[in-house]
Structure 1
Amino acid sequence: MREISVTTTVAAPPALVWEVLTDTSAYRSWNPFIPELSGELREGRRLRVRIVPPGTRGMTFRPTVTALEEGRELAWLGRLGVPGLFDGTHSFTLTPRPGGGTELTQREVFRGLLVPAFAGTLRRTEAGFAAMNEALRSRAEVRSRSVQP
């Protein structure tokens, strides 16, 4: 098993961060790590996700949504081949901060026989998480400033 996680503080309310996170049709314009995500964000539904970790050509996979709690959590399970070979449980969690703002955590837990063989890719994936979180933070904070009186 291997886990990677990146947490970013966003100076915007969770509802606005959620709005940016779930507006997947806009990903191409701002998201350096997941430039494409299509499909219905609903438990049990399959998505089409393209990730581009820094320094790679990227890959496309078809995970299944495993959790969706409005304004709080989005998670999916992706697999390479058969279960137990290389499985990744990916999640985004939004936590309100005391006094305002949001803690955004992007996390993935990898399990399976091939996980050790992908160590370099997982390091690049962690850098991709950080780049996406930062881009999401920037987009949400700009929107937050534009709606404040």
Structure 2
Amino acid sequence: MKIETSINIRANKKDIWEVLMDFNEYSSWNPFIKSIKGIASIGKTLEITLPTMKFNPVVQVKKNEECFSWQGKLWIKGLFDGHHQFEIKEIDENNCLFIHREEFSGLLVPMLKKQLETDTRQGFEAMNKALKERAEKAQKNS
């Protein structure tokens, strides 16, 4: 199962990336991901807090100003796994498309499908809007 959301942001990819990767500030602006602790390097484990859960995914991809992703699991691999990805596609120098997606797999996905399609999708969209506001504000201040 896959959830994908996107939003146009009137900011350059550098400003969007800086907001996205400044984990220390998440609690001040992000309504979906309350906190991320750890180092954003491939193979490193992060500690992520959402409103309803905590988990420890492993960073899979980090391409500066383009893409950041992690692979997480609930308790044991194969039960409820997720590959979470943020992608920034430059439209022009001061406009980008931010794509926020996750692919879910595992035994619990069918039971959680409705919640994922509603609550999780709403969380992604809320984060996208908050990122847009913060990055556009940063763009104006630079």
Partner of 2:98, secondary structure, is strand
1:80 equivalent to 2:74? Answer yes
Q: Provide the C-alpha distance between the structure 2 equivalents of 1:15 and 1:146, rounded to a whole number of angstroms.
A: 13
Match in the other structure for 1:146:
141
Partner of 1:40, secondary structure, is coil
AA paired with 1:144?
Q
Q: Provide the C-alpha distance between the structure 2 equivalents of 1:137 and 1:94, rounded to a whole number of angstroms.
A: 12
Q: Provide the C-alpha distance between the structure 2 equivalents of 1:99 and 1:65, rounded to a whole number of angstroms.
A: 28
TM-score normalised according to structure 2 size: 0.96
Structure 2 portions without partners, runs of 5+: none
Q: Provide the C-alpha distance between the structure 1 equivalents of 2:72 and 2:82, rounded to a whole number of angstroms.
A: 5
Give how far 1:128 is off: 0.2
AA paired with 1:131?
A
Match in the other structure for 2:28:
29
Identity among equivalent positions (%) equals 36
TM-score normalised according to structure 1 size: 0.92
Of 75, 81, 86, the residue aligned with 1:92 is: 86
The 5 A counterparts of 1:1-149 are 2-52=1-51, 58-98=52-92, 100-122=94-116, 123-147=118-142
- On the 8 A contact 2:12/2:93 being kept in 1, the answer is no
Greater shift in the superposed pair: 37-46 or 94-103: 94-103
Q: Deviations over 1:84-106 (max 9, x none)?
A: 11110000000001363111011
AA paired with 1:61?
F
Q: Provide the C-alpha distance between the structure 2 equivalents of 1:107 and 1:8, rounded to a whole number of angstroms.
A: 12
Q: Provide the C-alpha distance between the structure 2 equivalents of 1:91 and 1:129, rounded to a whole number of angstroms.
A: 11
Q: Which runs of 4+ in 1 moved over 6 A?
A: none
Q: Over aligned residues, Cα RMSD in angstroms?
A: 1.0
Alignment: residue pair count: 141
